[in-house]
Structure 1
Amino acid sequence: MNFLRIMTQKKSLIPKLNLRQRTLIAMIVSAIILLSVIFAGILLGDERIATNLENRNLAPSLDHPFGTDWLGRDMFTRTMKGLTLSIAVGLIAAAASSLIAVVLGILAATAGKIIDSIISWLVDLFLSVPHLVTLILIAFALGGGMKGVIIGLALTHWPSLCRVIRAEVMQLRSTEYVQISRKLGKKRWWIVTKHMIPHLIPQFFVGLILLFPHAILHEAAITFVGMGLSPHHPAIGIILSESMRYLSTGMWWLAFFPGLCLLIVVRSFDIIGENLRMLIDPHRAHE
């Protein structure tokens, strides 16, 4: 009983974190993980991913934490460089897709009913087809490679954010300061640039971060099926695709560690995006 009483007292001495503090801690931990992956991919030298047949097919060890592949290349270095490449591709594609969503969302809400109907039809069209199918078609039409993947990701991931931006702009149109600006004779694009775009910046960054995990996963998926990045790049999709041929021989580490690291990176971006959206939500930011 004394032991239980002491433990209860110790627990009461530990300060209880509110939702905002827990959210910030989760974001900081996720950011540290992502920065560690990026710096590891940049700082690790290319000599460890050069062909070395003397070290081929080695199981995970202290010298090679993720083991080596059939050409003696260090899988830890390949995985970190592959994740860094995926993050770079995801950043460019997500930024382009977010810009498309913001522009079309503003046009749908401010440019009249005809433009709104056309953009709404495009949103429904893209959402009715699985992203991966559309992405494969666009990448195939553009000849594959990094250019095809980035353009395909940018053109297939904007509809959901576009709907959010359109709804946000529709609410802004009914606010008092926008109505006053209209009565003062301000032009439509002046109102958009001065009143609406500054209000949409938080939504843009949250949408950008939330698009990251989808872009990275779809980049890995399309590369896995052979329609994405070139085999000369150390991409995660290529690593996973190549490892499938060797799993039956017991070389489980070729797919396990790259796949696990990919899930960790995707989940870290997802946590940052969800928590950032929670922080800027006026209804939950005070908790």
Structure 2
Amino acid sequence: MSGPRVDRRRRTLLWIGSAAAVVVAVLVAGHLVADSAQTTDLSARNSGPSAGHLFGTDWLGRDMLQRTLAGLRLSLVVGTSAALLSAAIAIVLASAAAVFGGVVDRVVSWLVDLFLALPHLVLLILLAFALGGGTQAVVIAVAVTHWPTLTRVLRGHARQVVTSDYVGIARGLGRSRGWIATRHLSRHLLGHFVVGTVLLFPHAILHEAALSFLGLGVDRAEPSVGVLLSESMRYLTAGAWWLAVLPGLCLLVVVKLIDTIGENTRALIDPRSAHL
């Protein structure tokens, strides 16, 4: 039994390492080509994919591969910021609900139910619009709308911890709620927090791209994937399919890679969830 389990664990680690390596490579490549992605060449406008320009060029002759890499980097940075902020909100609310209980627990539960009942995309668009658009508005809007599900999961695990025997003993010994939260609760929630944060990344990245596509996201001068897709709509009827198809496919691949990292990390932390 130990042999197959070890092999599955190694395969899981290999998947995580491979996916993470590709994501890091995209980040590094996007940083390196950030300046050249803005370079125009009017003599090569709207050129299809070729050996010189693998993803073709846009209406200003800018290399679409470089712009796609720069856009993916920007999407990853914005998505990471939003996911971390959203996960921080989730763990604070879940911990407060479990440690204090009573009114605090009911308020957190009510907030979770309220946000889950609201139309997700509509709320996201309204928040981004109210905040005036831009990168900061996207981060805040995505963070504010993505914490409820993770809060519910963390709250369930936190309640199991605070009702355990060893926490009861700690309370009997006069330990404070803060001590219990830092010494017992944080250790048990760390793994679920990490997995939940990683699994928030795909949603955050896709919603950033959606807001940028609608004109409520990052600055239009920045080569975000959502901006690239939005700008490509004017040229699709002229046959410039590469302006939308190739950046869109790359975005889906990166999102799938991050989702793979999250799912396999969950399999390592909680093997029963993945039938390991």
Counterpart CA distance in 1 for 2:158 and 2:22 is 35
Tell me what 2:113 maps to. 124
- In structure 2, what residue type is equivalent to 1:92? S
Structure 1 range deviating more: 39-48 or 144-153: 39-48
Give the aligned partner of residue 142 of structure 1.
131
**CA–CA separation in structure 1 for the residues paired with 2:242 and 2:99:** 53
**Does 2:46 align with 1:57?**
yes
In structure 1, the partner of 2:219 is: 230
Contact 2:39 2:62 in 1 (8 A): yes
Q: Select 2:11's aligned residue among 18, 22, 25.
A: 22
Is 1:57–1:69's contact at 8 Å kept on the other side of the alignment? yes
1:256 to 222, 245, 251: 245
The question of 1:193 aligning with 2:186 is answered: no
- 1:207-222 map, 5 Å: 207-222=196-211
Would the aligned equivalents of 2:266 and 2:273 in 1 still touch at CA under 8 Å?
no
Q: Matched residue pairs, number?
A: 273
Q: Which deviates further from its counterpart, 217-226 or 113-122?
A: 113-122
What secondary structure sits across from 1:283 in the alignment?
helix
Which of 257, 267, 275 is equivalent to 1:268? 257
Q: CA RMSD in A?
A: 1.7
TM-score by length of 1: 0.91
Unaligned residue ranges in structure 1 (runs of 5+): 1-14
Residue 90 of structure 2 corresponds to: 101
CA distance in 2: counterparts of 1:285 and 1:152, whole angstroms: 32
For the residues of structure 1 that align with 2:184 and 2:53, how far apart are their CA atoms?
55
Instruction: Report the alpha carbon displacement of residue 77 of structure 1 after superposing the two structures with TM.
Output: 0.4
Can you give the 5+ residue segments of structure 2 that lack an aligned partner in the other structure?
Answer: none
Matches within 5 A, 1:38-117: 38-44=27-33, 46-117=35-106
SS of structure 1 residue aligned to 2:272 = coil
Q: Could you tell me which residue of structure 1 aligns to residue 25 of structure 2?
A: 36
Q: Give, in whole Å, the separation in 2 of the partners of 1:207 and 1:286.
A: 19
1:87-128 C-alpha deviation (Å, 9 max, x unpaired)? 000111100000000000111122222111111111111111
How far apart are residue 283 of structure 1 and its match?
Answer: 3.3
2:186, 2:13 → 1: CA distance?
26
Deviation at 1:45, TM superposition (A): 5.1
The alignment partner of 1:158 has SS state of helix
Tell me how far 1:17 sits from its aligned partner. Answer: 7.8
The alignment's TM-score, normalised by the length of structure 2, stands at 0.94
Change (3 A) 1:199 1:252: same
SS at match of 1:157: helix
1:245 aligned counterpart, secondary structure: coil
Distance 1:130 1:71 in 2: 38
Q: Distance in 2 between matches of 1:62 and 1:130?
A: 45
Give me the whole-angstrom Cα distance separating, in 2, the residues matched to 1:265 and 1:190: 40
Q: Partner letter of residue 151 of structure 2?
A: C
Distance 1:158 1:258 in 2: 28
Measure the CA separation in 1 of the matches of 2:48 and 2:162: 61
Task: Give yes or no for contact 2:123–2:145 (8 Å, CA) kept in 1.
Answer: yes
The alpha-carbon deviation at position 129 of structure 1 amounts to 2.0
Cα pair 1:56 1:69 within 8 Å, conserved: yes
Which moves more between the two structures, 44-53 or 102-111? 44-53
Instruction: Write the letter of the residue equivalent to 1:125.
Output: L
Q: Which moved more, 1:89-98 or 1:171-180?
A: 171-180
